[in-house]
Structure 1
């Protein structure tokens, strides 16, 4: 029998981070490590990750698959912009993941949309 401990109710954070130093947005290994640290800080369990760098001067796209759902990021160093998508259910705390990401990237401005998922 499958263990289905997590209920669908959770928070989905969509974060637009502007004014980020380009050097912080172009290193796939560094961004992978950052998202892993963010997932752990949120109390999430990492299942798999995949990150892709688009070449010199270009950005990164990546995703962490979590038992609680996912964290993804897309970066545009040429524009100093990162878009992060954090959805976690169960007892995981996506706000903590976003706090850690913001501390590392130090955006000049941010816009975050919070969506409650799976609640009636």
Structure 2
């Protein structure tokens, strides 16, 4: 069950229409997963309603992957996005696929700033922690 968990916090995302369009986000996120060689087995997307002051609602969404998952959440009111890509490496090392998908997602949003994090998870066998 060892794997790689990547996250990114993006700010200064100039494509505000992308931050509120769940259908476009779903399509582009699926394309990024497939281009990276990951297998989409399900998904869920939700657009939040506009705020009373007229601010557009953001989007939260998730792809279920045979290798694990990818999720995102947008905040159009502050031009920000959070990304989460986790892949298991049980049958082979999918780390490069996770990195490729994360890079494609970051490029898709063209942020002014991107803070990335990387966590190796679930060591197996002799490397497992007791």
Shared fold per TM-score greater than 0.5: yes
Residue 105 of structure 2 corresponds to residue 101 of structure 1: yes
Q: When the two structures are superposed, what TM-score results if normalisation uses the length of structure 2?
A: 0.82
- State the shift of 1:42 in Å: 2.1
C-alpha RMSD of matched pairs (Å)? 1.1
Partner of 1:14: 7
Residue 12 of structure 2 corresponds to residue 25 of structure 1: no
Residue 4 of structure 2 corresponds to residue 42 of structure 1: no
Partner of 2:79: 80
Partner of 1:4: none
Which moves more between the two structures, 34-43 or 23-32? 34-43
- State the shift of 1:55 in Å: 2.4
Count of matched residue positions in the alignment of Structure 1 and Structure 2: 113
Residue 49 of structure 2 corresponds to residue 55 of structure 1: yes
- State the shift of 1:41 in Å: 2.1
Distance 2:48 2:19 in 1: 11
Q: When the two structures are superposed, what TM-score results if normalisation uses the length of structure 1?
A: 0.89
Which moves more between the two structures, 20-29 or 107-116? 20-29
Distance 1:44 1:70 in 2: 10
Distance 1:23 1:77 in 2: 8
Gaps of 5+ in 2: 51-55
Q: Rg: which structure is higher?
A: 2
Structure 1 runs, 4 residues or longer, greater than 6 Å off? none
Distance 1:11 1:103 in 2: 20
Gaps of 5+ in 1: 1-7
